[in-house]
């Protein structure tokens, strides 16, 4: 039976832990010569621009022995009015899986409902579960555990934060989210985490969130599709910057994370981004390893 990966909760906790362990093995070179997906074809359907998601999936697919087919919606019939349902059914006759990076989450849900092959969420406006996998791997690498780690997120309550809430709920991470009023994460995702007894808090003060943190995390103030709000958002988020001042409230061995791309001088300073405490580029690399482990799990 085919399986999708639309949110982090598609995985059971045991599967998540096994996937992270497998990603560590792949990063260390174990089974580097094996090609478990040889002869397979994986589609990459991206309605949103991408650097890390596209490169990491394209290389990962190749390293697993399969071929990646990049699909620009404007170059296929999907961009000329073919329905989501019909596109999903056609893809299912040719491919063994598809990664979709799009805007509304309901679009990928509709695609998955009509596809006979695994559908992986490369990003929607509501969730970014592949990023969360790499984040968890990075935290475990640097802190040796997930349970009890204090993670402070400073900035916009966006899709990255929604997936971090699910990650925290599943693994026992204590998550502190500092964001302005009306820029909180999705209410339904947050309330579900609280109902499960998860240690997730929404705060207004970045300093309060960062106090005693093991990990400091931020993301851009203006995401794709929000460009018209850029000036407004920059004013609202001006005090939600990951900088030397905020770092001073965290533990001395706290690490700095950012899912990239970074708008240096806005949500993060050069001093924080390039400090010895920054693990931003380890985090970016780990997208490759976790996604390879995910593909091994889903594509048979």
Owner of token pair 């009890």: 148
Four-point Cα dihedral 272, 140, 148, 259, nearest 10: 40
Q: Secondary structure of the chain: what % helix, strand, coil (to 5)? A: 45, 15, 40
Same domain, 108 and 196: no
DSSP 3-state of 10: helix
Q: Which of 139, 142, 134 is nearest to 23 (CA)?
A: 134
Owner of token pair 């899986």: 97
Four-point Cα dihedral 9, 204, 278, 225, nearest 10: 60
pLDDT, position 79: 64
pLDDT, position 32: 78
Same domain, 80 and 135: no
CATH number of the domain at 218, please: 3.40.50.1370
Active-site residue identified among 4, 22, 96, 101: 101
In a domain, 194, yes or no: yes
Active-site residue identified among 156, 259, 283, 289: 259
In a domain, 16, yes or no: yes
Q: pTM of the entire structure?
A: 0.97
Same domain, 54 and 166: no
Instruction: Give the strand order in the sheet containing 150-154.
Output: 200-203, 174-178, 150-154, 215-218, 255-258
Q: Is 287 a catalytic residue?
A: yes
Give the C-alpha separation, 107 to 120, whole Å.
12
Q: Is 128 a catalytic residue?
A: yes
Same domain, 85 and 34: yes
Q: Is the dihedral of CA 257, 24, 70, 161 positive or negative?
A: negative
In a domain, 3, yes or no: no
CA angle 173, 133, 195 (to 5 degrees): 40
Under a CB-based contact definition with an 8 Å cutoff, are residues 72 and 46 in contact?
yes
Parent domain of 65 = 8-128+287-298
Same domain, 48 and 152: no
Same domain, 259 and 135: yes
In a domain, 2, yes or no: no
Longest dimension (CA), the chain: 55
In a domain, 51, yes or no: yes
Residues facing residue 71 across a β-bridge: 45
In a domain, 1, yes or no: no
Under a CB-based contact definition with an 8 Å cutoff, are residues 5 and 118 in contact?
yes
In a domain, 245, yes or no: yes
Same domain, 270 and 294: no
Q: Is 131 a catalytic residue?
A: yes
Same domain, 99 and 188: no
In a domain, 80, yes or no: yes
Please report the DSSP string for 29-94 in residue order.
TTTTT--TTTT-EEEEEESS--SHHHHHHHHHHHHTT-EEEEE-GGGSGGGGT--HHHHHHHHHHH
Domain count, the chain: 2
Give the C-alpha separation, 192 to 174, whole Å.
15
Active-site residue identified among 22, 52, 128, 233: 128
Active-site residue identified among 105, 176, 258, 287: 287
Same domain, 275 and 293: no
Token pair of 207, please? 């300093």
Q: Return averaged pLDDT per consecutive 10 residues of the chain, 300 residues in all.
A: 96 98 96 91 95 97 97 83 94 98 96 98 98 98 98 98 98 98 98 98 98 98 84 96 98 98 97 98 98 96
Same domain, 84 and 201: no
Active-site residue identified among 219, 258, 283, 291: 219
Q: What does residue 30 show for φ and ψ, rounded to 5 degrees?
A: -65, 135
Same domain, 71 and 120: yes
Q: Is 52 a catalytic residue?
A: no
Active-site residue identified among 4, 130, 131, 241: 131
Same domain, 274 and 153: yes
């Amino acid at each position: 039976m085919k399986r999708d990966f639309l949110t982090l909760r598609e995985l059971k906790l045991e599967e998540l832990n096994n996937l992270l362990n497998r990603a560590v093995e792949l990063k260390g070179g174990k089974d580097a010569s094996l090609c478990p997906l040889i002869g397979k074809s994986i589609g990459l359907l991206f309605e949103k621009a991408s650097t890390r998601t596209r490169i990491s999936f394209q290389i990962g697919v190749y390293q697993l022995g399969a071929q990646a087919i990049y699909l620009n919606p404007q170059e296929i019939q999907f961009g000329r009015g073919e329905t989501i349902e019909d596109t999903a059914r056609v893809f299912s006759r040719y491919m063994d899986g598809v990664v979709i990076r799009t805007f509304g989450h309901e679009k990928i849900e509709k695609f998955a409902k009509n596809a006979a092959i695994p559908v992986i969420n490369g990003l929607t406006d509501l969730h970014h579960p592949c990023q969360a996998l790499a984040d968890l791997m990075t935290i475990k690498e640097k802190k040796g555990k997930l349970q009890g780690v204090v993670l402070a997120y400073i900035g916009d309550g966006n899709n990255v934060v929604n997936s971090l809430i699910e990650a925290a709920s599943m693994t026992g991470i204590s998550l502190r989210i500092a964001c302005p009023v009306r820029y909180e994460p999705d209410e339904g995702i947050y309330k579900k985490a609280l109902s499960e007894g998860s240690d997730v808090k929404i705060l207004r003060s970045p300093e309060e969130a960062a106090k005693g943190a093991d990990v400091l995390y931020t993301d851009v103030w203006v995401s794709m599709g929000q460009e018209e709000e850029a000036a407004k958002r920059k004013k609202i988020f001006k005090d939600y910057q990951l900088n030397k001042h905020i770092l001073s409230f965290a533990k001395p061995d706290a690490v700095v994370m950012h899912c990239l791309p970074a708008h240096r001088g806005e949500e993060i300073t050069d001093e924080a981004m390039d400090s010895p405490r920054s693990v931003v580029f380890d985090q970016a690399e780990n997208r490759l390893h976790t996604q390879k482990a995910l593909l091994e799990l889903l594509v048979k």
